[in-house]
Amino acid sequence: MEIALYHPEHGYYESNRAAVGQRGDFYTSVSVGELFGQLLAFQFAGWLDELGTRNAERGTADAPLQIVEAGAHDGQLAEDILLWLRKRRPDLLERVEYWLLDPSPRRQEWQRERLSIFAPRVKWFANWGEVQQAGGVTGVIFANELLDALPVHRLAWSGAEQRWFEWGVRTIGERFMWTRLPELHANVAVLAQPSAALGGLDESLRESSWVSLAPVLPDGFILERMPFAEFWWSIAAQSLRHGKLMTFDYGHTSGDAINPSKPHGTLRAYRDHQLVDDILAVPGTQDITAHVNFAAVTHAGARAGLATVELTEQSRFLTRIAQRTMQQPAGFGEWPRERVRQFQTLTHPDHLGRSFSALVQERC
């Protein structure tokens, strides 16, 4: 999955700048229009104002503030946010640096091209180590549909053996095929036996039904573990000195990774806005994604000292922001028909409102 999506030459996100939108393979909130970025900019401005007040109380009023976007792809969302700040909050924009976290030189070049007019305010970082060397973040760290595209472990339940095993990938000629691995990767080895699973999991996983229900699952039942997403979130949390850490994505929000309606797991591939049956076919030409386990991600942030502000549907999160903008028309602007249309797409259950959730954690 990592190679298919992120290989420097052939990876899907490296070679497909137009992956998102009507002409791409899938839609995101960004592709709906500029409203998503404008609403986020309005919310970020409020958070940063509060943070500035706290800094003044701490005697660090002159401390720089940052907005850090991870997984910015071609920079469209960053542009929408920065344009709104320049128009509506130029005073804040003068105090804020916009940092983009992206390991890909190619994607960084796409972003530099789009954001050239904001050059003095934008900086690029290849990894969290560079961010921490720069002093960490006082402000907002966020990602939009990034965690679902990080590599996963694909586990299956053997009813006959009463234990979990892991699916890997091998080659036959020029084809990729699923193959049962002889043992579990260390990241998921605690599930090797039900007894080990019950006694060896951390608190967030011990509460999950996937352990207690395992013995009665149908043979071959599949679920995914996302240690890369949990690790990414943990490092992001450690990089946050003060402020908010948030993500928009789709996944399990109740803490139950086991979903009876998805006995084959949530790992999916998409091309031309269509679900692709063969996940392993034509790697590098289709998107691959899996549901985020928000309970595990939230626990990773808590272990790093963050407090959870909320985990809610995207529709509810954006609606609350929209309500505040309507109370401050001079600060946000009017709501013409096009804005209303975009808002309906972002929040309606039949579009993006039900599918996506927003997780916000903070360090005061």
Please give the distance of CA 62 from its chain centroid, rounded to a whole number. 31
Instruction: For residues 24 and 21, give the distance between their C-alpha atoms in angstroms, rounded to a whole number.
Output: 5
Report the run of H or E that residue 295 belongs to, with start and end.
Answer: helix 294-303
User: Average pLDDT of 281-289?
Assistant: 92
* β-strands 222-225, 153-158 pairing: antiparallel
Residue 225 confidence (pLDDT): 92
Convert the pLDDT of each residue in 41-90 to its tens digit: 999 999 999 999 988 888 887 888 999 999 999 999 999 999 999 999 99
Instruction: Place 211 in a pLDDT band, splitting at 50, 70 and 90.
Output: low
At residue 97, does pLDDT exceed 80?
yes
Mean pLDDT for 165-186 is 94
C-alpha–C-alpha distance, residues 245 and 219, integer Å: 39
Q: Which domains does the chain have, with CATH numbers?
A: 2-150+228-275+286-363 (3.40.50.12710), 153-224 (no CATH)
Within 13-152, strands assigned E span 65-70, 96-101, 122-125, 137-144
* Residue pLDDT, tens place only, 113-126: 999 999 999 999 99
Q: Which percentage of the chain shows pLDDT scores above 90?
A: 74
pLDDT band at 205 (very low <50, low <70, confident <90, very high): very low
Residue 228 burial by CB count (10 A; 0-12/13-18/19+): exposed, middle or buried? middle
Residue 210 reports pLDDT greater than 60 = no
State the Cα–Cα distance between residues 153 and 192, nearest whole angstrom: 14
Q: What is the pTM of this model?
A: 0.92
Question: What pLDDT score does 18 carry?
Answer: 59
Tokens 């986020």 sit at which residue?
A: 40
Query: What's the CA gap between 21 and 83, in Å, rounded?
Result: 20
Q: How far apart are CA 318 and CA 46, in angstroms?
A: 14
pLDDT-derived band at 200, boundaries 50, 70, 90? very low
Q: What is the pLDDT of residue 195?
A: 37
Average pLDDT over residues 234-259: 89
Q: In Å, what is the CA distance from 71 to each residue of 68, 94, 232, 268, 352?
A: 10, 24, 12, 19, 19
pLDDT, averaged across the chain: 89
- The model's confidence at residue 193, banded by pLDDT at 50, 70 and 90, is very low
Query: If DSSP codes are grouped into helix, strand and coil, which group holds residue 276?
Result: strand
Residue 23 binned pLDDT confidence (cut-offs 50, 70, 90): low
How confident is residue 24, by pLDDT bands cut at 50, 70 and 90?
A: low
pLDDT higher than 50, residue 101: yes
Q: For 52-66, 208-222, 261-275, 279-293, which range has the lowest pLDDT when averaged over its residues?
A: 208-222
Burial class of residue 268 (count of CB atoms within 10 Å of its CB; 0-12, 13-18, 19+) = middle
The residues pairing with 70 across neighbouring beta strands, listed in sequence order, are 101, 143
Tell me the residue length of the chain.
364
Q: Look at residue 20 in the predicted model and tell me its pLDDT.
A: 65
- Reduce the DSSP state of residue 206 to 3 states and report it: helix
- Res 111 pLDDT > 50: yes
Helix and strand numbers (H, E) in the chain are 16, 16
Cβ-based neighbours of 9, under 8 Å, separated by 6 or more: 15
Mapping DSSP to helix (H, G, I), strand (E, B) and coil, where does residue 110 land? Answer: helix
CB 144 within 8 A of CB 248: yes
